[in-house]
Chain A
Amino acid sequence: MSDATLQERYWRYLAANGPKLHRLRSPGPTKALIVTYFLMVALAIVCQLAMLLWPPAIWLFLACIVISMIAWTALRSTIDVRDAAPRSELDDFEAEVLAVWRKRALNVLLALLFLGAATFVIVPAVFSGRLDPAAVGTAAGVFMLYSAGVVSTLPAVGYALTFNRNADEED
């Protein structure tokens, strides 16, 4: 029986069977994929707020989510999903870059957590009785989902920005 963990085996499966997208492994397309992902997430937030006043905005919201997922999947394919690779598969510099970006992601997450906590404690207290508790709960959940969706991508974004470059380009 193999000693590889489930995570390692899953990563090997993804790396071996995923699309290679060699044409997108350069700085321009990499930045385009990153911008597309974050722009679509931002637009999805706007559409979700718009849905409160205009329900058909859900179709725009869904389109933004699908496009963001395509951009994200393509970006991870260009790095062979190495942000999820076991440590033994990475060289020292790759591990160092991922560690730096994971630390940045943690700092962003802590800031968002604090901001969200403060907001969802203060706002219901100030508007006590005038807010629907279910709506406040939903808003808190959506905030957490978007925070996770943004923060969890940062290590892969950092890896792609560092490594999706021409190896022989001058500094």
Chain B
Amino acid sequence: MSPRKKPRSPIFNRVRVLRTERDLSRAELADLIAVNPQTVGALERGEHSPSLDLAFRICAVFDLPVEAVFSRTEFPPLTADQLPR
């Protein structure tokens, strides 16, 4: 039962997509970034905004810059990114 309020200024992320691409379960990703597996779930659902330290640790796992994983604006679907009309 997570805290009900979503953050006022949400931070969007691609953690679920990136995790799935790399065939990582939530538990495996949680082990890599040293958090509880439910914390990964809360991050993916947007119920929890990561600290700067946690954000950097997540980006280090995916070997991507912060702006590729986290954003103040919603990420467009990847197909739209890769196949512009």
Residue among A92, A100, A158, A163 making CB contact with B38, cutoff 8 Å: A163
Minimum CB–CB distance from B25 to chain A (whole Å) comes to 5
Q: Please, how many residues of chain B have a CB less than 8 angstroms from a CB on the other chain?
A: 22
User: Which A residues, 117 to 171, have Cβ-Cβ distances below 8 Å to chain B?
Assistant: 158, 161-163, 165, 167-168, 171
Residues of B within 8 A of A94 (CB): 36, 39
B2 within 8 A of A: yes
In contact, B36 and A93 (Cβ under 8 angstroms): yes
Interface of A: prevailing SS:
helix
Minimum CB–CB distance from A101 to chain B (whole Å) comes to 9
**B interface list, Cβ under 8 A from A:** 1-3, 25-27, 30, 34-43, 45, 48, 50-51, 54
The 4 A-B residue pairs whose C-beta atoms are closest, nearest first, are A167-B37, A93-B39, A91-B35, A161-B1
**A interface list, Cβ under 8 A from B:** 91-94, 96-97, 100, 158, 161-163, 165, 167-168, 171
A-B contact list, 9 entries, CB within 8 Å: A93-B38, A93-B39, A94-B36, A94-B39, A96-B48, A97-B3, A167-B37, A167-B38, A171-B45
